[in-house]
A = this chain, B = another copy of it.
Amino acid sequence: MLAMKDTQRPVPSASPRRLNARDPRLVPWRMFQVAHAVLNRRLDEDLRREQGMSLAEYVALLQIVEAPGRRLRMSRLAESIVLSRSGVTRLVDRLEEDGLVSRSTCTADGRGAEAVLTERGLERMRRAARTHLHGIEQYFVGVLPDPDLETLERSFRRVVDGVRSEGRDPAACAVPDDLEGATEAEPSPAD
């Protein structure tokens, strides 16, 4: 494996080379931040204007749509959209008020609750997806050549693995380990 698991020290000492404020590699870093900000803002605006739905709601619903049986445990949802548990509770509250999902206590585990997509929710997602996919195509995949997209995917996979494997907070990285090997030696193209 390459070097990136040597990060167990609480002290920021063992760095290959010290990053300073003038390092040119900070330019891609900033572009990354700005791109995410303007892009998500735009996608959220488009979704609200054309579909009366926030991007956060769309993303949550998408996870549920794709889950087996179109139902998903609250905690799983929290992990997949990177939101706190309480945040998910309230988000699902709103979706439930809109009649897009309904809650159902988990059959196997009485503690758990599942968010289940309603028919109305499915209908809504079908329409919203048009707007959202159009935006992604217009602003992201449509302007980037495939080889670059592959580089992005590989890079971000590595970033995510790095952050999660380093997790100080065990709860925050409760994510299946099958992402582990994917950093280095994955052929996995189209998923």
Contacts and interface: CB of A to CB of B under 8 A. Distances in A.
Interface in A128-156: 129-131, 133-134, 136-156
A136 B19 contact: yes
Interface residues of A, number: 85
Provide the main secondary structure of the chain A interface.
helix
Contacts of A21: 129, 133, 183, 186, 188-191
Residue of A28, A149, A152, A183 contacting most chain B CB atoms (<10 Å): A28
Contacts of A189: 21, 24
A129 to B, nearest CB: 6
Given A35-B159, A82-B34, A179-B34, A151 B148 contact: yes
Interface of A: 1-7, 12-13, 15-16, 18-39, 41-42, 45, 59, 81-82, 129-131, 133-134, 136-160, 162-164, 166, 168-169, 172, 179-180, 183-184, 186, 188-191
